[in-house]
């Protein structure tokens, strides 16, 4: 809008010169465009799904110049935007082009290109600005405050528009495969791909939604005659989910273009099919009948939208935890990103005054249209953001970060359970080192997997980070460090390997790509310090 007003002003000035202007009425017509950010998660998802339907992802034939290839494609449709990128997942690098809003049959194009190559549509894509480029962006901007470091970190590592759109395109591809069995099904992304806390490179969680199939899930009349399709009966819903995922897993394995390393993990609490989608580089988890997880995603999204500090703090704590191997991409006894996010939300509910409302308060604001009961669990909460009134809290991100570490450095984990429904710690209902009540399935503990040693590491690292943030040398940009490299300060200090004996991280841990990114982030944060010094001098 500002840009638009500036243009209007420039044009206006040209015609009236420098005469003083008393008042100008400007009427701006905004048409719903690509960049309008819809408010609710459902609106956003519907918008993205619709975009995915109009996008294609094409594997470029080898030894083809990008320019020539685009020229060729433009004969088949109007190319508004395009992104070329290379994918290295499980095999030799391949060049791909992602064409959002390209309305044409990809099959037609590709078959005329090369008869042995199967065409496909996919929503997975890596934007042309790779993580390395993004950290360049941070280093080119100077930040002198921890608050600014936190914002830079969020800006640099959160999912980009293109990355997010690719995730929906992958769902669309999978839907095409699943539609062989369930013609009207939908595949929806959930978890960090859409909850607003996703970091570039996070996995793509999807669930097969059969509720959109006409007639499925309709309540049958209690009396009288009714007609219904015959369906095979099975003894449990879990068994149905396992069967569905089993056949879809087979299809993905045999016919899913670019889907490699397919594993069917059907005996897990939440059965899933795991695979890598080569063209996009996404690690994918496909589940079915997972509506509660979709509700948790919606809740996390809502909290993230309420106040910008929520997203930044969650993001920073997630990065901090990853840098110290408190979380991992491999399942195990460590704290999950979901548990960690709930811990941050709980901390924000405990501020004076609270930054975000409790889940019970959100439920009390709900209208009849928000009612949701899934498998007997009350998942109702308000979806109209305008009904939520926030209290005035002016804490800075810097302050919140320090206090988060202090809060959990001294939290009575041995006795108390974290409860975002009530916004208050509760006595632990069962023995477990870490107890975080599942917000919707309230009898469950979302951190049941966490063992004592992992919780101890988390607490020790919170103590260390709280201590570091109290030191004046941590808080201010410092001079040159060892070997003439800029010294880390502020947030960067917290991401460095721990100095405390016993919390050094798991032994012989292979460096993973995320750690590499944290490393380059550290460098860029250090460079910012360097930038400040030179501008000061
Ligand atoms: P990353 O993938 O680590 O970036 O974060 P994520 O939030 O996507 O977590 P994950 O892939 O482990 O799980 C995906 C989603 O499933 C989460 O966002 C939650 O909505 C849900 N979820 C994960 N673990 C649990 C759990 O223990 N209980 C419940 N109710 N939901 C969970
Ligand atoms: Mg995930």
Q: What is the 3-state secondary structure (H, E, C) of 365-425?
A: CCCHHHCCEECCEECCCCCCHHHCCCCCCCCCHHHHHHHHHHHHHCCCCCCEEECCCCCCC
Q: Decide: helix, strand or coil at residue 66.
A: helix
Alpha carbon of 293 to ligand 1 centroid (Å): 7
Residue for token pair 């890596």:
126
* 8 Å CB contact between 58 and 77: no
Cα 280–Cα 284–Cα 289 angle in degrees, nearest 5: 140
Which residues, 6 or more positions from 304, have their beta carbon under 8 angstroms from its beta carbon?
195, 196, 197, 310, 311, 314
Cα 290 to the chain's mean position, in Å? 17
Ligand 1 centroid to 338 CA: how many Å? Answer: 5
* Residues framing ligand 1 (Cβ under 6 A): 190-192, 195, 198, 202-203, 205, 292-293, 296-297, 336-338, 438, 441, 446
pLDDT score, position 526? 53
pTM above 0.80, yes or no: no
* Atom nearest to 202 CA in ligand 1: 4
| ipTM of the modeled complex | 0.95
Residue identifier of the C-alpha nearest atom 24 of ligand 1: 338
Cα(92) to ligand 1 centroid in Å equals 31
Judge contact between 459 and 409, C-beta under 8 A: yes
Q: What tokens were used for 280?
A: 């996009």
| Cα R_g (the chain), whole angstroms | 25
Mutating to test ligand 1, I would choose from 191, 198, 290, 342 the residue with most ligand atoms within 8 A of its C-beta, which is: 191
Pocket probe for ligand 1: among 205, 326, 331, the residue whose CB has the most ligand atoms within 8 Å is 205
DSSP-H helix ranges across 262-307:
291-306
Which residue has a Cα nearest atom 21 of ligand 1?
293
Strands 426-427 and 282-288 turn out to be unpaired
Cα separation, 94 vs 60, in Å, equals 8
Distance 531 CA to ligand 2 centre (A): 36
For the chain, the helix, strand and coil percentages under 3-state DSSP, each to the nearest 5:
45, 10, 45
Query: What pLDDT, on a 0 to 100 scale, did the predictor assign at position 167?
Result: 94
Q: Distance between CA atoms of 271 and 264, rounded to whole angstroms?
A: 8
Q: Within 10 A of 33 (CB to CB), how many other CB atoms are there?
A: 6
Question: Best substitution site from 204, 286, 293 to test ligand 1's pocket, by max atoms within 8 Å of Cβ?
Answer: 293
Alpha helices in 287-357 (DSSP H): 291-306, 308-323, 337-349
**Considering every ligand atom, which ligand is closest to the CA of 159?**
1
What are 450's two structure tokens?
């966490």
Provide the CB-side half-sphere exposure for 205 (13 A, CA): 20
**Rounded distance, CA 490 to CA 149, Å?**
8
Ligand nearest to the CA of 207: 1
Rounded to the nearest angstrom, the distance between the alpha carbon of 10 and the centre of ligand 2 is 47
pLDDT by position in tens, the chain (length 537): 566 666 666 666 666 666 665 555 555 545 445 455 557 888 888 888 888 877 777 777 777 788 888 888 787 777 878 878 776 665 556 777 777 666 544 433 333 333 334 444 443 333 333 333 333 323 333 456 888 889 888 988 899 988 999 999 999 999 989 988 888 889 999 999 999 999 998 999 999 988 765 555 555 556 677 776 666 777 778 888 899 999 999 999 998 888 999 999 999 888 999 999 988 889 999 999 888 999 999 999 999 999 999 999 999 999 999 999 999 988 899 999 999 999 999 999 999 999 999 999 999 999 999 999 998 999 999 999 889 999 999 999 999 999 999 999 999 999 999 999 999 999 999 999 999 999 999 999 999 999 999 999 999 999 999 999 988 777 777 655 555 556 677 888 888 887 665 555 544 444 444 455 555 665 655 555 454 444 443
Residue in 292, 338, 435 to alter for ligand 1 test, most ligand atoms within 8 A of Cβ: 338
Q: Which atom of ligand 1 is nearest to the CA of 294?
A: 20
Burial class (CB in 10 A: 0-12, 13-18, 19+), 211: exposed
3-state secondary structure of 232: coil
At 434 the three-state DSSP class reads coil
Residue 66 Cα to ligand 2 middle (Å): 33
Residues forming beta bridges with residue 417, ordered by sequence position: 426
Query: In this predicted structure, what is the pLDDT of residue 306?
Result: 95
Specify the residue with its C-alpha closest to ligand 1, atom 23. 338
């Amino acid at each position: 809008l500002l840009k638009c007003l500036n243009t209007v002003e420039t044009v206006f000035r040209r015609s009236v010169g420098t005469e003083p202007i008393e008042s100008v009425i400007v009427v701006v017509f905004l048409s719903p465009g690509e960049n309008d950010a819809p408010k609710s998660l459902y609106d956003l998802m519907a918008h993205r799904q619709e975009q995915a339907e109009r996008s294609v992802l094409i594997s470029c034939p080898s030894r083809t110049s990008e320019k020539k290839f685009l020229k060729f494609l433009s004969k088949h449709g109007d190319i508004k935007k395009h992104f070329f990128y290379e994918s290295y997942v499980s095999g030799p690098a391949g060049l791909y082009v992602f064409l959002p809003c390209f309305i044409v049959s990809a099959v037609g194009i590709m078959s005329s290109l090369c008869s042995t190559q199967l065409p496909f549509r996919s929503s997975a894509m890596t934007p042309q600005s790779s993580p390395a480029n993004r950290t360049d962006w941070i280093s080119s901007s100077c930040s002198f405050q921890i608050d600014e470091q936190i914002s830079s970190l969020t800006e640099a590592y959160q999912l980009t528009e293109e990355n997010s759109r690719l995730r929906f395109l992958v769902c669309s591809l999978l839907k095409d495969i699943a539609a062989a069995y369930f013609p009207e099904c939908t595949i929806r992304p959930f978890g960090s791909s859409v909850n607003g806390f996703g970091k570039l490179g996070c996995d793509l969680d999807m669930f097969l939604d059969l509720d959109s199939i006409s007639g499925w899930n309709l309540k049958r009349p209690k009396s009288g005659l009714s007609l219904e399709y015959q369906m095979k009966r099975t003894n449990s819903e879990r068994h149905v989910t396992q069967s569905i995922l089993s056949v879809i897993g087979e299809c993905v394995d045999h016919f899913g273009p670019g889907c490699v390393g397919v594993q069917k993990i059907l005996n897990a609490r939440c059965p899933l099919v795991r695979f890598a989608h080569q063209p996009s580089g996404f690690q994918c988890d496909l589940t079915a009948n997972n509506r509660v997880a979709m509700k948790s995603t919606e809740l996390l999204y809502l909290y993230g939208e309420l106040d910008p500090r929520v997203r930044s703090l969650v993001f920073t704590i997630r990065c901090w935890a990853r840098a110290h191997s408190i979380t991992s991409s491999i399942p195990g006894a460590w704290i999950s990103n979901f548990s960690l996010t709930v811990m941050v939300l709980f901390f924000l509910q405990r501020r004076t005054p609270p930054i975000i409302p409790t889940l019970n308060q959100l439920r009390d604001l709900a209208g009849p249209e928000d009612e949701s009961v899934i498998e007997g669990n009350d998942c109702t909460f308000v979806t109209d953001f305008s009904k939520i009134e926030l209290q005035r809290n002016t804490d800075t991100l810097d302050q919140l970060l320090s206090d988060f570490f202090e809060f959990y450095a001294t939290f009575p984990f041995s006795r108390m359970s974290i409860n975002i429904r009530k916004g208050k710690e509760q006595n632990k209902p069962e023995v477990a080192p870490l107890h975080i009540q599942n917000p919707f399935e309230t009898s469950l503990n979302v951190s049941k997997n966490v063992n004592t040693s992992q919780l101890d590491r988390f607490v020790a690292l919170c103590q260390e980070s709280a201590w570091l943030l109290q030191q004046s040398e941590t808080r201010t940009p410092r001079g040159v460090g060892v070997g003439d490299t800029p010294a880390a300060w502020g947030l960067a200090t917290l991401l460095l390997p721990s100095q405390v004996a016993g919390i050094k991280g798991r032994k012989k841990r292979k460096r993973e790509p995320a750690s590499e990114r944290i490393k380059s982030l550290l460098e860029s944060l250090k460079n910012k310090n360097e930038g400040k010094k030179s501008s000061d001098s």
